[in-house]
Structure 1
Amino acid sequence: MWDTEAFDGVYAGHPGRLYRRSAATFDELIAGTRCWTDREFLIHGARRLTYGQFRGALGRVRDHLADLGVVPRDRVMVFGYNSPEWVAAVFALWLHGAVPVLGNRWWSSTEIAHATGLLGLRLVLTDTPLDAACPTSPLAGLAGAFESPGTEARGADSDLDDVAVVLFTSGSSGMPKAVELSRRSVIANQQNILARNGRLPHLLDAGSPQAVSLASTPMFHIGGLSSLLTHFLTGGRIVLSEGRFDAGQVMSLIERERVQVWGAVPTMAVRVLEHPEFGSHDLSSLRSWPLGGAPVRPELLERIRTALPNLRERGLSNTWGMTEAGGFLTVADSRDLRARPATVGRPYPVVELRIDRPDADGVGEVLARSPTVMLGYAGRVDDGTVDAEGWLHTGDLGHLDGDGYLYIDGRSKDIVIRGGENIACLHVEAALATHPAVVEAAALGLAHPDLGEELAAVVVYRGGARPPTADELRRHLAEAVSSFAVPTRWLIRAEPLPTLAGEKVDKVALAAAFETSGSP
């Protein structure tokens, strides 16, 4: 049911590239893992669950969902850190014909209220108490489903272009946007990845080597979800980190479980390399370290090659994609990165790229068309992010070389990527503006050696008022934005923000002001 051959076809009412043969249902995806029933699938602390235990638990979790009143097409938020219960909830919702909504575990109470109110949720499955506008149920209540053998659940059928999952991304409009992805999107993203690395499920069997991967990226992000599915479909063993990212824990898990694959954003890589215990852990089992989620500097790649010689020849890769794309659009392997250190690679087999309105240097907005691209944003009118011909307007500026390799040159949207997390500047500015002493505010990104970018804010306070302190402003933001969206550098002043023609705030001038101010 899989192959690598792509052709020019039609989907969602517009032309595009498709695979000739592909899986069509989540049932088919799950059935392909039956040859690995006795293999370990999920490792979480002291818990070790096999593929058979996991599949057997899905029927009991599905029955539990039905008892809670969930019916096909209902939207159910899964709100928690990576755990076996989180994974089982998502798969059981798919088999039940419901739509998992993947909440960001780091949201503020304001963002939680926005997301739960936007989508008309039936239920929230959560690992922490929430004040939500719909019923909640503890994720921990699913743990018992793994304790005894169960009957495997069969999946409900639906159209390939029905909504299969909702994830969230920050955008220039402020509050998190709900990205709707179809089942076609989820499956095509996996087929792209597995076709490129030669590990399509029909090529594997019970005797195929088992890859051991570490999942420290949150699975509520598109990269984490994609990695989960990739290793599930290929019979891999997935080691789940506990709680928020911790470089020391990552190194301990790699050493203890002999992890071979660890996907990370560049900030995670830097923090592992900088950790005082880096040299005291045996990381020689690592064979693959894919990086994505933020620009990867050539200096970082060389530093990894030097620190971990086992990755020098073929272990590093760089990917480019986004939530709206349903996953990854391009990939550069180790050979590509040695020859073209700044590239994000070439497109996957059914991904088309186009540079819109290129300048004299060939740089313009990168447009992408693929069956992985989102259906749209829930609760929002069509804003042109995906046009009538199926092209996703990414907001990234880039160019293509003569061999079809893509280079990202910047972003047209007012977004800061801090350690792999997207921060909408407008959202932060709007929250700052609600402070009684603030007249106007601007949020912007500044280069940072660890995070890639850090968030800075310039605040203009009301004349005659006592200037607010940075600590006061941080406390004011705490309930309005995510923790990663609270600025770490501040300029608090009385003079107005500088503007360009048309009264657009001149953020280039503000960035320069931070360089000359010595502001912490």
Structure 2
Amino acid sequence: MQPNWIKQRAYLTPNRIALSFHEQQWTFRELYEQSVKMAYQLNAYGLSNGKRVAILAPSTPQLIQVIYSCMQAQCEMVLLNSRLSKQELAYQIEDAEVDAILAHDDDLVKLQQDERIIRFSKLVQKQGQPFDIAQEWDEQFAMTIMYTSGTTGFPKGVCQTVGNHSASAISSALNLGIKEQDTWLCTVPIFHISGFSIVVRSLLYGMKIRLYEKFDGKQCAEEIIQGTVTKMSVVAVTLEMILTEMEQQNVKASPEFTTMLAGGGPVPVDYLKRASKLDMPVAQTYGMTETASQTATLSNEDAMSHLGSAGKPLFFNQIQIAKQQGEEIGEILIRGPHVTPRYIGKYKDTPTMVDGWLHTGDLGYLDADGYLYVVDRRADLIISGGENIYPAEIENCLLAHPGVKEAGVCGIVHEKWGQVPIAFIVKRNDVTEQEIINFCKQSLANYKIPKLIYFVHELPRNGSNKLVRRNLLQLLDGEK
């Protein structure tokens, strides 16, 4: 059992600032009192003690309030990705067999008609029905359910328990440390594990969240320069936008800013070098929905000595590589208290672990010192003439070119070689296909050099801004 996080935090540090948004801010006591009131309102709808609710809303303080209230009411929360289509959202809602759908009024248009919908504006007007709010939480309770990106087949509904979330937050604290003045700049969507894990850390650490509804590179750079925030979570594309903004201003990060936690896939080495010049400590991390955020993180002290690594497993976690015969690179396997115990819905009978290990579908290797290097997704692997080609390696090369802002690589069918790599590029400034090919020849084997270069306005990304390589070929339709 664990204490009710919200009540315990309000008891320990009631007057500490918990959340700020634009010019507004709330203490932990204020958020606790709001959450109790709304928990009573949820109870009036019969939503308490294990009921399952879907939540669709932008990343605003009202969403934080709803999440806290669901925690107080002991409702399982299915956090919906607002960037999905109506059909995709309908699949997840039905697969999860939810008792209700809590939706921000502005997001109702994204949902099919459903009598289970309770709009936020209606919820806050409901006469509350008091009940005994739990003083302790069961570690096995499924606090959240998040759906995977669905790289193969249908998305899976992943249960993340109270124990999963707390193990993740504690491991992160042991690695990054905690300071009373810490403020985490949250621009990643809260429906994603990277965003929700910040909410959990706030409660367990007593840490302030500086919340943005959407990512804004210029504003984020300003916060980092001024030192109004100490930590931030990014993916490669958002990190690059912040770097560009700071380089254009010719300024460095404030000494108060201690950690840029970079996940969602390998970060190009060139970005890490640029960040170092700006005195911005970048900690590469590796995690997934099934692991309630981080599994491994590269500490700041190792950042430059192990460029490109995602670090070592956090304290309670273990990683091993399922190697192929004679190969150094293999599938990354994980175990630890942060690993989900189960899926729901369509995949409820699918075990999350085999022989005690979570098989991630990601490819990587451990060096002699035990540092993890994530190479790519197994599903994105290109096999050309019997050679394995990792798109991330080619993207890393492309992104080092000053004329390339974004890059995505995938395989295309080839009569002779089976597959060959092609690249989709968003330009930073004028650059030709031949210039890019020549640049690649300096650091890539011939079979890894993209056989075709397509210049596009944007790349396909998911709700957390991660590149969706399986959708790259759809961009060819626009070339015809």
Band the TM-score falls in, shorter-chain normalisation = 0.7 to 0.9
Bigger Cα displacement from structure 2, 292-301 vs 252-261: 252-261
Query: What is the identity, as a one-letter code, of the residue corresponding to 1:211?
Result: D
Where does residue 402 of structure 1 map in the other structure?
368
2:313 pairs with 1:332: no
3-state SS of 1:78 partner: strand
Where does residue 353 of structure 1 map in the other structure?
319
Kept in 1: contact 2:164–2:339 (CA 8 A): yes
Equivalent residues in 2 for 1:152-231, closer than 5 Å? 154-155=133-134, 159-199=138-178, 209-231=180-202
Deviation at 1:34, TM superposition (A): 2.3
3-state SS of 1:413 partner: helix
Where does residue 43 of structure 1 map in the other structure?
20
3-state SS of 2:290 partner: helix
Are the structure 2 counterparts of residues 280 and 44 from structure 1 closer, same or farther at C-alpha, using a change threshold of 3 Å? Answer: farther
Partner Cα distance (1:373, 1:185) in 2: 6
Partner Cα distance (1:175, 1:166) in 2: 15
2:41 pairs with 1:64: yes
Are the structure 2 counterparts of residues 28 and 247 from structure 1 closer, same or farther at C-alpha, using a change threshold of 3 Å? Answer: closer
Bigger Cα displacement from structure 2, 223-232 vs 97-106: 223-232
Equivalent residues in 2 for 1:356-395, closer than 5 Å? 356-381=322-347, 386-395=352-361
3-state SS of 1:371 partner: coil
Kept in 2: contact 1:111–1:175 (CA 8 A): no
Query: What is the identity, as a one-letter code, of the residue corresponding to 2:40?
Result: D
What are the superposed Cα offsets for residues 385-413 of structure 1, whole Å, 9 maximum, x if unpaired? 63343210011111112222111122212
Unaligned runs of 5+ in 1: 1-23, 146-150, 200-207, 417-443, 459-496
What are the superposed Cα offsets for residues 438-475 of structure 1, whole Å, 9 maximum, x if unpaired? xxxxxx998363786537797xxxxxxxxxxxxxxxxx
Partner Cα distance (2:416, 2:115) in 1: 45
Q: TM-score, normalised by structure 2?
A: 0.76
Where does residue 232 of structure 1 map in the other structure?
203
Are the structure 2 counterparts of residues 94 and 408 from structure 1 closer, same or farther at C-alpha, using a change threshold of 3 Å? Answer: same
Deviation at 1:343, TM superposition (A): 1.3
Kept in 2: contact 1:167–1:180 (CA 8 A): yes
Kept in 1: contact 2:140–2:163 (CA 8 A): yes
Kept in 1: contact 2:17–2:25 (CA 8 A): yes
3-state SS of 2:170 partner: helix
2:216 pairs with 1:246: yes
2:117 to 116, 136, 147: 136
Unaligned runs of 5+ in 2: 383-390, 424-446, 456-480
Kept in 2: contact 1:55–1:152 (CA 8 A): no
2:313 pairs with 1:342: no
Partner Cα distance (2:163, 2:415) in 1: 45
Partner Cα distance (1:334, 1:277) in 2: 21
What are the superposed Cα offsets for residues 338-361 of structure 1, whole Å, 9 maximum, x if unpaired? 211121111112212121134434
Partner Cα distance (1:356, 1:94) in 2: 38
3-state SS of 2:133 partner: coil
How many residues align? The count is 409
2:86 pairs with 1:116: no
Where does residue 508 of structure 1 map in the other structure?
420
1:290 to 258, 261, 280: 261
Partner Cα distance (1:274, 1:144) in 2: 45
Deviation at 1:213, TM superposition (A): 1.9
Kept in 2: contact 1:111–1:176 (CA 8 A): no
Kept in 2: contact 1:58–1:152 (CA 8 A): no
Where does residue 490 of structure 1 map in the other structure?
none
Where does residue 78 of structure 1 map in the other structure?
55
Query: What is the identity, as a one-letter code, of the residue corresponding to 1:189?
Result: S
Deviation at 1:280, TM superposition (A): 7.6
Kept in 2: contact 1:100–1:164 (CA 8 A): yes
Kept in 1: contact 2:166–2:200 (CA 8 A): no
What are the superposed Cα offsets for residues 220-244 of structure 1, whole Å, 9 maximum, x if unpaired? 11111112221332222211112x3
Equivalent residues in 2 for 1:304-343, closer than 5 Å? 304-306=275-277, 308-309=278-279, 311=280, 315-343=281-309
Deviation at 1:250, TM superposition (A): 2.2
Partner Cα distance (2:195, 2:360) in 1: 20
Query: What is the identity, as a one-letter code, of the residue corresponding to 1:177?
Result: K
Are the structure 2 counterparts of residues 509 and 226 from structure 1 closer, same or farther at C-alpha, using a change threshold of 3 Å? Answer: closer
Task: Name the structure, 1 or 2, with higher relative contact order (CA <8 Å, separation 6+).
Answer: 1
Deviation at 1:77, TM superposition (A): 1.3
Deviation at 1:514, TM superposition (A): 10
Partner Cα distance (1:253, 1:197) in 2: 20
Query: What is the identity, as a one-letter code, of the residue corresponding to 2:283?
Result: S
Are the structure 2 counterparts of residues 281 and 363 from structure 1 closer, same or farther at C-alpha, using a change threshold of 3 Å? Answer: closer
Kept in 1: contact 2:232–2:260 (CA 8 A): yes
Where does residue 483 of structure 1 map in the other structure?
none
Kept in 1: contact 2:266–2:375 (CA 8 A): no
Are the structure 2 counterparts of residues 175 and 189 from structure 1 closer, same or farther at C-alpha, using a change threshold of 3 Å? Answer: same
Deviation at 1:257, TM superposition (A): 7.5
Are the structure 2 counterparts of residues 58 and 104 from structure 1 closer, same or farther at C-alpha, using a change threshold of 3 Å? Answer: same
CA RMSD of superposed structures (Å):
3.3
Partner Cα distance (1:279, 1:223) in 2: 28
Kept in 2: contact 1:112–1:132 (CA 8 A): no
